[in-house]
Structure 1
């Protein structure tokens, strides 16, 4: 049976492309340009599968340059256009000239395409029998089979070469072939054999396996890899490169706990895994595996001997402790005091400098918004602003953060001044737009709605998407709910509640929102009130009350401005916090079926499928 054109045509095109004309004298510029035009046209014909036309051009290029790449393109064109007679004649002529075994492969491939499998294999075997000890010749022959899609024969080349010439290894080449044929057990064995003889190839092997994982849609490779590596670790316990690969594998699976246990054992054994542990800690923190990240940093901090990562571990451990604190959404005094002590100890040991600036900013936010000591935060940021060597962006960012702290300290005019300075000094930057928005939002908190509206048109056109969206939301809130001929007392109460939310005073915000509902039961702001109450209650971990607020919102305002978010957040509450998967599934299904315009539809579909698959 004849073989038709296949994916190797395109692969061949991209893998064999060679630029032949660089570095020619200026006097040949016109001729060079003509050749480039011919080459480009030939490539276009080839991609468009106009093989007859491409063949003429590639033959012309080969006749002029003698380059193998053009010759092989020419052969491919003849084969794909079924001109097997010319292809065979051309190959025989080439064999008389070069004697390269790879052209026996091409000859066999022509017969294969004609359907003469027996004759094809005779030429393949002839090429294999002529193996020479030169590594370049072996790889050239293997690549000929590989490029033409004859993977079994490509593997035979390297297997036979390793038998004939034991001093040479071709584990990497074999692994690539097994990857193409999805023979994962043999691929893994080949890579592990490569690591046994060349431990320094670990990074290369990890990169190739990462590619294999990308294409492993059904998860077959993951299961096979764990079994294969564990078996090697047991059969060859003295070779630590397998342990290193296993740590890498566990990290890719986001199994940070197991990866950390393996990495700690390995470091105690070799004393050479500090950089691996640092990377593991960073990835664990990014994956919100805070306990594992903290354990890794603590180990690095206390690690004896030559330890270049001690200070870095101290810094990052404090940063991750703050991230875990934020994720836990706790306001318990013991947690606040413990983290405060960790910050203070870190700065006592490492000082306040450009190196610790990111942690200074975290500590200032912690002091202002969680420890509710804005005065201390202001003092810290003012000292940070005097650190030598800060660039304008760093200084501007510190000023914005200082202004935020002043807002929560009640010094609104100082905050206005600082926001205005950043807007002027950093003009036409995202930071300037952020400062302008925060100044406008402060005016909203203070009840100056007319001034806010005057600024919004500029801010809605910000290149910073977040600032533009926030500006639009604030603008719509005022436009939709401000009454020109009234005092707007309900909107002012909502603004003060939003100020309490900004400064992380959730209880005070709830009290203001409750008062607003009681004082203005028919206010058109009630949908906004319910949305804010639900979010605050989630933050306070009062999940049942939050679910009631969301349900109340959806009952009263099923098509309201906040209903889309409320519907999805309610599903998340049922799924993740209240352990009511059936209710969560029903909400996600409702979003998918009845709210096709929802911005949460993709997340709802994914969550719905996950819940359904668990049953």
Structure 2
């Protein structure tokens, strides 16, 4: 019997969903007749009758229910049926009667408000919750009210109710952040951002609890106003100086967003406020890496002295492995002393390192050996990582470096073999890089049996890796002149544009990107060209209108692009949309 009813229910629901209301009505009527006390079947029957405009039948049924059963839900349903009959006054009469039931028992509020919400009678639901809260202050309807206000677009009241709820349940703060993220944006002048900021600042003035500083810091992070987020984090730290982890996390985020001066300020603050050696070393390392990023060659000698001063102070032991790894990279890729760098890293590998840390050093050593064009030795270290840490992300990274090294050597077949395996890498970044390199090889390997252009391109790619940017640009010029019209041309234009950007030759980069769009608009690099043009005009050249146009091209013409989500987000921000 129960199984039969379930089947009937599914059939009726399917008919209702498909708009076949007469068929649904027959089954719902049968189910209700068999279960006369079931409000579930009654409401399904009523919904179907209303779709068929059988309002009078519904009215009689509900009047009988209201007379017999003192359930406020039937009053709301009767009122809604009158509303469908355009009898507004009668509808309001029954709605008000339902709300008055809260006076008898405030706990009815959930049931009554929920029924109002089912019919999008949101103002009535708000009235119900507020009335119950006045009658019994122990009830808390902030979450329900916040959700309704959000549906109505009443953002200030939505924020206020979430904030009031956090005041009673501080653990709700991360859930609130997820809710807020749908309504705020990176644009600090967005009206919703300003509303939330005003409410939080008011809370801090009235009662400076930790969670208000936390939320304000989070908001400044969304706006990429990291200096202001830092101010809030300092206030939090002063109230609870047990851990600097939040401030370290903010500093790392700030580096990722290339706001280096703020990052330096934060890491210097960390140095001033910690006695923990490990934390000090992390701060020193990041400060030196930022200094290196911002430095010119004449600054390198001073940075080298700072590294060695730290090694003199803290030693070259297990506790300074992060600093040692960074210094090896600096020696090879900045000071251009790869031999010294590889020897330094080999010394570090003699320490008792955990398996993953050892793999990280071997990965770096492999990179330095590739820099020296000692490809076979590099391959040994990469292969050791794969053998020792199978199926890990670092193992997959090592496999990609095996493929890249083989490609630098001109061994394109072996590179392709490795790249095919990596297409299904658990790391999306590695999978994307592997796919890009595989397409580069496969698109160009078969057009020329001697692989002349592809070998030149791989050599230019290696030069770029070695920071020999001028030589790489010249070699790419050679490809563009001697192999014009071949499939490698758009790749050469793109790599050269990226190198022009590194050298701050933005006009030349723009020309290359435009050439890709003009001549290769249907090929795989067109969306890359649009995106990087958008980034140039948005972040470097301060021409947001031009940037908006390039982001727009990705949104409309390249919906499958890996840049689609970011391009849409940046386009909406430049357009001034209120939400993400």
Q: Which band: TM-score by shorter chain?
A: 0.7 to 0.9
In structure 1, C-alpha distance between the alignment counterparts of 2:414 and 2:245, rounded to whole Å: 53
Change (3 A) 1:177 1:342: farther
Unaligned runs of 5+ in 2: 424-430
Partner of residue 503, structure 1: 466
Matches within 5 A, 1:125-524: 125-132=96-103, 134-213=105-184, 219-234=190-205, 236-238=206-208, 241-269=211-239, 271=241, 276-303=246-273, 313-314=279-280, 317=283, 320-321=286-287, 324=290, 328=294, 330-334=295-299, 337-338=302-303, 341=306, 345=310, 363-374=327-338, 375-377=340-342, 379-380=344-345, 383-384=348-349, 387=352, 389-390=354-355, 399-421=362-384, 438-439=401-402, 441-443=404-406, 445-446=408-409, 449=410, 451-453=411-413, 456=416, 459-460=419-420, 462-463=422-423, 464-477=431-444, 479-480=446-447, 483=450, 495-507=458-470, 509=472, 522=482
In structure 2, C-alpha distance between the alignment counterparts of 1:64 and 1:125, rounded to whole Å: 30
Aligned partner (choices 509, 516, 538) of residue 501 of structure 2: 538
SS at match of 1:126: helix
C-alpha RMSD of matched pairs (Å): 5.1
Partner of residue 427, structure 2: none
Per-residue deviation, 1:266: 4.2
Unaligned runs of 5+ in 1: 1-30
Whether contact under 8 Å (1:544, 1:578) holds in the other structure is no
In structure 1, C-alpha distance between the alignment counterparts of 2:71 and 2:184, rounded to whole Å: 36
Whether contact under 8 Å (1:297, 1:313) holds in the other structure is no
Per-residue deviation, 1:415: 2.1
Whether contact under 8 Å (1:482, 1:491) holds in the other structure is no
Change (3 A) 1:100 1:293: farther
Query: Once the two structures are superposed, what CA deviation does each residue of 1:104-123 show, in whole Å capped at 9, x if it has no partner?
Result: 22221111121111111111
| Structure 2 residue 88 is matched with structure 1 residue 117 | yes
Whether contact under 8 Å (1:263, 1:273) holds in the other structure is no
Whether contact under 8 Å (1:420, 1:439) holds in the other structure is yes
Change (3 A) 1:133 1:567: same
TM-score of the two chains, using structure 1 as the length reference: 0.71
TM-score of the two chains, using structure 2 as the length reference: 0.75
Whether contact under 8 Å (1:175, 1:191) holds in the other structure is yes
Which range moves more in the overlay, 331-340 or 202-211? Answer: 331-340
In structure 2, C-alpha distance between the alignment counterparts of 1:565 and 1:130, rounded to whole Å: 61
Change (3 A) 1:444 1:78: closer
Aligned length: 559
Query: Once the two structures are superposed, what CA deviation does each residue of 1:260-279 show, in whole Å capped at 9, x if it has no partner?
Result: 22332343356588565455
Greater length-normalized contact order (CA 8 Å, ≥ 6 residues apart): 2
Aligned partner (choices 575, 586, 599) of residue 537 of structure 2: 575
